[in-house]
Amino acid sequence: MKITSGPAIEKVGDLASILTNLASGDILFIDEIHRLNKMVEEILYPAMESGVLDIIIGKGPSARTIQLDLPPFTLIAATTRVALVSSPLRSRFSGGVFRLEFYSNEEIAKIVARSSKLLNIKFEEEALEEIAKRSRFTPRTANYFLKRVRDYAQVYKKNQENNGSENLSKKTVNEALAMLAIDEIGLNSSDRRFLEILIEKFNGGPVGLKTIGAAMSEEEATVEEVIEPYLIQLGLLQRSARGRIATNKAYEHLGFEIPID
């Protein structure tokens, strides 16, 4: 299996080199395929449809095209911005286009348990579940929290507080994540600040993206792409044609009194 990413394939020659070095039956995985430039993308079309690579030799009137037969291979691509993948490229994935759902807390807990074994860290089951619950449904975030809890435990020797047990406790996880300002549902300080500004300064909304970005001193793209998605998933935020609106759940989580209409 050969693995690469859209940003790494800058020139047509880069993709041609990758394709010509594939062996029969190989799998080529391209991450962030939406970031392929158009010229590189067009080289993929005949490779995906006919298993050939079109190469232009020369320039001007003397230029000619030759075709190289490619060995049978499977192309798998991934993106978090499917709308940015051009329609011609998307339609050529004849095997199908699939949407992957977020991991459940139970699945994240299994991933954290495996990672803890690889890192030779012993945790109580409740501690692993607590890390999973705050991980924003993302294995990378869960593994990051796992390592930070380990660091905290090593510095403060928290493995000695559990009646001689080497297993790190839920209490240790709570203390370590509190130092990172991660609350019980995985919100960080920026998430909470967003909701607090929305509720305290704008009465819960609706308020426009540009306005709330200015109030936070954050770029609009950061607010829209980094902060808002998780809040929407948790049902703490609504997007409407009029702007952003804090839900009753957001008021409850932050301890604000729910307004009466």
Determine the topology of domain 189-254 in CATH. Arc Repressor Mutant, subunit A (1.10.10)
CA–CA separation, 30 and 78 (whole Å)? 7
Q: Where in the chain is the domain with CATH 1.10.8.60?
A: 105-180
Element containing residue 87 per DSSP (H, E): helix 87-91
Residues placed in the known binding site: 92, 103, 140, 239, 244
Q: Terminus-to-terminus CA distance in the chain, angstroms?
A: 58
The residues near 206 (Cβ < 8 Å, ≥ 6 apart) are 240, 242, 243, 244, 245
Determine the topology of domain 105-180 in CATH. Helicase, Ruva Protein; domain 3 (1.10.8)
Determine the topology of domain 2-91 in CATH. Rossmann fold (3.40.50)
Per-10-residue mean pLDDT, the chain, length 261: 88 86 90 88 86 77 78 90 86 85 90 90 87 92 92 73 62 90 92 92 88 89 90 91 90 85 65
Element containing residue 31 per DSSP (H, E): strand 27-31
Instruction: Note the pLDDT of residue 164.
Output: 44
Provide the 10 A C-beta neighbour count for residue 184: 12
Radius of gyration, alpha carbons of the chain: 25
Residues placed in the known binding site for DNA: 239, 244
Strand ranges inside the chain, DSSP E: 2-5, 27-31, 52-57, 64-69, 74-78, 237-240, 243-246
Q: For residue 28, what are its two tokens? A: 């080529």
Spatial CA neighbour of 225 closest among 209, 203, 211, 240: 209
Instruction: Note the pLDDT of residue 161.
Output: 53
Residues placed in the known binding site for ATP: 92, 103, 140
Q: How far is CA 256 from CA 62, 187, 232, in A?
A: 74, 16, 19
Instruction: Note the pLDDT of residue 157.
Output: 64
Q: Are 58 and 30 in contact (CB under 8 A)?
A: no
Spatial CA neighbour of 229 closest among 181, 186, 174: 186
Instruction: Note the pLDDT of residue 109.
Output: 92
Q: Are 27 and 73 in contact (CB under 8 A)?
A: yes
Q: For residue 98, what are its two tokens? A: 């699939």
Spatial CA neighbour of 67 closest among 80, 56, 81: 56
Q: Where in the chain is the domain with CATH 1.10.10.10?
A: 189-254
Instruction: Note the pLDDT of residue 261.
Output: 65
Q: Are 29 and 1 in contact (CB under 8 A)?
A: yes
| DSSP-derived 3-state class of residue 205 | coil
